[in-house]
Structure formats: C-alpha cells, structure tokens
A and B are shown apart, each in its own frame.
Chain A
Amino acid sequence: MNNPEPENFGAHSRRTFFKSLGTVAATAATAQVRSVAAELEKANAESVIGPGAVPVTLKVNGEKLKLTLEPRVTLLDALRNYSSLTGAKEGCDRATCGACTVLLGDTPVYACQKLAIEAQGYEITTVEGLAKKGNLTKVQQAFLQKDALMCGYCTPGFLMSVTALLRKNPKPTADDVKHACAGNICRCGTHPRILQAALSAAGVATASKTEVVNYV
C-alpha cells in the first residue's frame, strides 16, 4: 500500500525541512504573542480545524513553543521534528516501547500516541527539562552511578517513568518500580540496573541481588 506521507525532501533532512516551515520558538517576553489561554480557547472551541496546518502552542519545559502544525502531527513529531527537542526518542511509534515517554503535568504518557494539538494547555516535560541549570536530578545521577544504560536510547523514557513514579510514590518497592516501568523496553537489557538506580534515587535500600537480577 502506498504511504501517503512525503518522506523525501531532497537536500533537506526531514527535520531541517520541517523546522524551516515556520516554527517559531517564542518566549513569554515576545510582544504580541497571544496568551496561551486565548490560544487554548481557540484550539478547543467547538470548531472544525485542519486538515491544513494550524497554530499550536505547547508549553515545554517551562517555555512556550508556537508552532504551526497539521492536526495529525503527534506530540513526539512536534517535539523532535518541529522543535529541537530530540530527547524523547522514537522507537516503535505504536505505544509499545516507551522511548517517547514525556510528562503531561506529573503524568507519564507516550508522546507518539497523542496529537500535539491535544497536548496544549499542559505543562509538558521532556528529558531536557529535568536538569535545572545543568544540575542533574537525583534520578539522573542514580542512573549514572548505577551505570543504568548501555546505548542510551531507552534512557530518556525510563528517566521520565522513574521521575513520575517517585513524585507519586517517593518510597517505592521493587515491584512498584517494575510496574511503573513495564511500558519501557530496553533492548540492551539494562533493566536490573535501572531498578537499582530507581531504588537508590528514592533512598530505598537496594533490593536483594536475586530480586534485582530476576527482573521480569
């Protein structure tokens, strides 16, 4: 079956092409930026919009991003291809791997299975937004200390899942960590180290060696 989406942009990479389409990262200070509230009201009014590109305002890592997107653009594509936020990774694009995990408020979701237009009005956090002023969070430090990554492709997703878990449940058990991270898959098999890192970031005495090794 034909794939109706254009893939080939000649000299442009997909990402630079998308970015040249008029993406503007606006700071709150920019004059004449309509308020997010007004944008939201417009986006959520009961009117039919698209299929052509429409203005979409996302609040990512505390900064407003004013984008022009077709309604079909996923939040993941908006971050990676229409902004410079490539921290959230695309693994499956089908809600089955967790590499694209971002937070909406405090809630981890798959950015590949959500439209950018639906994410307006939320405080979106990607892995880029975790460290403040270059200081890694406890969870990030624990991942480093426990050597919880190999290729690192799954790491941003796991960091978001563990960060969300510890906000909701600061003293999780090993089972809580496994339950919270079941939707993140690491093809390099670093799961036991990730479990150790999550528990150590929470200050929970590391589970027995067998419990950690028997990660399923």
Chain B
Amino acid sequence: MKKHTISALVENHFGVLASVAGLFSSRGFNIKSLSVGETEDPSISRMTIVAKGDDRILEQVMKQLNRLVDVIKVIDMTVQDYVDRELLLIKVSTSKAARSEIMEIVHVFRSRIVDISPSTMTVEVTGTEAKINAIIGMLRPFGIKEIARTGKVALLREVKG
C-alpha cells in the first residue's frame, strides 16, 4: 500500500471538513495526517491529506472527493513533483549538562529553540517528514515529554523553464 499526498482546494465553509473526513472514514481509509488552511483567496481553503491505501480505493476516494459540491479541485501530488513541509514542536527533558548537546543538534537541523525552562527545552523544526523523524530520533535519548506535528502541507513544483 502506497502513501498518497492529496491536495484539495475547498470552499472555506463549515461542514466541508466533516464531509471530506467522512468520505475517507466511510471507505475504511485511514488519514495519516490532514492540514487545513486558507489560501491566497480567503474564500478557499487548501486541505493536504496524507493517506495510505490501495491505489484503486484511492482513485475512488479522489473521484468521490471531486463529487462533493464544496470541493473545487483535487490533486494527487504523489504522481507529480512537489515540495512538502511539516512543522514539529517537540518538548525535551534537559539537564543543565545536556543543554549544549541539544543546542548543537538544533543547530545542525537548522531548527530553533522556542521555549526553555529549568528542566525542558521546546524546539521548533520545519522540514520534510524524513528530517522531522530524524531529529525526533536524535532527541529521543534526552527524553521526549510532548510532541505536536502539523501534518504535511504541500505545493506542486513549477515546471522549470
């Protein structure tokens, strides 16, 4: 089963998220991540959905999505060239001694420390899923207290001229 990144432009109304989520769930399709936000046109939102499933079922889900009146456009990013990013906030336990080591990791990953307390540090990272997973792996030995991930957002690449 392949992972697909689907981008849907939808009317920025209440109820749209429920219809989209309902489509996936009623077909036994698990959503791995979903992020929603306004686009350059405030009346339109973009939903980026990462889902895993059989290609045939996914094709059905795409068609069903297209059928929704509030869905304006649906793209399966996975079959094209695209850029994607995810945002991670991660709270790590620190002792005084470990702090500089963590800061080094943060530096290498070109991420930032956004909160600090005597016993914790909170780090903000953006990047691809692979990068996010890598930094989580590096910070795990220090003790992870909490994680919040946004899920993927993605845009197609422009064809180079």
Q: Do A and B come from one complex?
A: no
Q: Which residues of B contact A (CB under 8 A)?
A: none
Binding site for B on A (CB under 8 A): none
